[in-house]
Amino acid sequence: MKFWLATANLKRTEECLEYGVFQGVITNPHVVAQEGREPVSLFTDLITIAPTAYYQLHAGTVNDMLKEADKMLSIDPSRMRIKVPATRNGLSVIRKLTNLGIPVMATAVPTSTWMIFAVAAGAVAIAPYSSMLQKRNILSKMEGVFAMQDIIETQGYNVEICTGIYDATEIARYAAYGIKSAFIWEKDVETYLTQDLADEAAANFNGDWAKIDAY
Contact 172, 142 (CB under 8 A): no
Q: Tens digits of per-residue pLDDT, 75-86?
A: 999 999 999 999
Give the tens place of pLDDT for each residue, 154-201: 999 999 999 999 999 999 999 999 999 999 999 999 999 998 888 788
Q: Name the H helices within 100-139.
A: 112-121, 131-135
Tens digits of residue pLDDT in 4-54: 999 999 999 999 999 999 999 999 999 999 999 999 999 999 999 999 999
What distance in Å separates the CA atoms of residue 72 and residue 43, rounded to the nearest whole number? 8
Domains of the chain are 2-189 (3.20.20.70)
User: 144: part of which helix (H) or strand (E)?
Assistant: helix 141-155
Compute the C-alpha angle 11/15/19, nearest 5°: 160
